[in-house]
Amino acid sequence: MLRILIRGLFLMLLAGAVNAAPVFVFTAIPDQDETQLKQRFQKVADYLQQELKTEVRFIPVKSYAASITAFRNNQVQLAWFGGLSGVQARELVPGSRAVAQGVEDPEFKSFFIANTSTGISPSDHLPESLRGLTFTFGSKGSTSGRLMPEYNLREQFGIGPDELFSRVGFSGNHSRTIALVESGAYQVGALNYKVWETAVAEGKVDTSKVQVIWETPTYPDYQWSVRGDLDAVYGDGFTARLEKALLEMNDPELLNSFPRSGFIPASNDDFEPVRKVARQVGLLD
């Protein structure tokens, strides 16, 4: 039995070694419904494969941290990160760069939504009546569903969310935040405005039960980040071709699945504001 097991292990390692032939692998933070993500990024994989003339694979992961770890461990070479996860990941991988972002991403925002039973109506500031309610973020590592809402709450009330609300939860992703606030499991929540707008447009939200009560000031969010060592593995000029391909994604169907109106160049410095806020909130050292 021992021999069988050793052989099995050996085969597995061998399989790992064979896979190390340069297939280009990328991932994305699991920020909304998985089916949608899979459809979207399969399209991106097909597109990149065609443009880069090399095998491209998308690997879905179950948490923000897992996408960062995969990028750090060089098990993926490219990732669609949020503002915070991008900053975290690039800090861990010297030489890695943000190369492209959506046209909308430099001025991204979060929506605070509330169950209509709270009686809170939309306004241009966070109302005092939030005190003592129940509140859900999205994922713990999300920019639009955690970092920026927490920052804005702290700015407005001068205390942390744990003190402000009677209960604070993490729904896991933006789609779940809508579902949980709609069902009343939480009274208030905060999420990515794009996910909200798309869900409303697709008729997936009962707007008689949940509505937007405030929107945050804008901040930079999602971006494509690449590792710095791609050319050594995939050949000279690969990173440049990859950047070009990402920026030239203009198939309306592809863009709609994000949803972004197009992609523009990005740099690490664009996300300096996110890093500052993350330090202030204590999510980064």
With contacts defined by CB under 8 A, name the span among 31-39, 41-49, 94-102, 218-226 that binds another protein: 31-39
Backbone angles phi, psi at 263, to 5 degrees: -120, 140
CB 31 within 8 A of CB 110: no
CA 264 to chain centre: 17
Q: How far is the CB of 272 from another protein (least distance, A)?
A: 19
Q: How far is the CB of 124 from another protein (least distance, A)?
A: 27
- Rule CB under 8 A: say whether 68 interacts with another protein: yes
- Rule CB under 8 A: say whether 206 interacts with another protein: no
Q: Which of 134, 198, 211, 223 binds another protein (CB under 8 A)?
A: 134
Residue 207 to residues 40, 182, 189, 249, Cα–Cα distance (Å): 26, 8, 14, 33
Give the CA angle between residues 68, 53, 69 to the nearest 5°: 10
Q: Which of 13, 159, 233, 240 binds another protein (CB under 8 A)?
A: 13
3-state secondary structure (DSSP) of residue 135: strand
With contacts defined by CB under 8 A, name the span among 43-51, 64-72, 96-104, 248-256 that binds another protein: 64-72
CB 52 within 8 A of CB 230: no
Q: Which of 28, 44, 45, 70 binds another protein (CB under 8 A)?
A: 70
Q: How far is the CB of 267 from another protein (least distance, A)?
A: 22
DSSP 56: E
Paired with 108 in beta bridges are: 219
Up-side HSE of residue 248: CA atoms within 13 Å toward CB? 11
Buried b (16+ CB within 10 A) or exposed e, 186-201: bbbbbbbbbbbebbee
One-letter amino acid at 280 equals Q
Q: How far is the CB of 166 from another protein (least distance, A)?
A: 9
- Rule CB under 8 A: say whether 61 interacts with another protein: yes
Q: How far is the CB of 251 from another protein (least distance, A)?
A: 26
110-115 and 188-192 as β-strands: parallel, antiparallel, unpaired?
Answer: antiparallel
With contacts defined by CB under 8 A, name the span among 100-108, 184-192, 219-227, 256-264 that binds another protein: 184-192
Considering only residues 245 to 284 of the shown chain, the ones binding another protein according to CB under 8 A are 283-284
Q: How far is the CB of 208 from another protein (least distance, A)?
A: 13
Q: How far is the CB of 143 from another protein (least distance, A)?
A: 13
Residue the block writes with tokens 């949980």: 180
Residues that bind another protein (CB under 8 A): 1-2, 4-5, 7-9, 11-13, 15-17, 19-20, 25, 33-35, 59, 61-66, 68-70, 72-76, 88, 92, 115, 117, 134, 139-141, 167, 169-170, 172-173, 175-176, 179, 183-186, 283-285
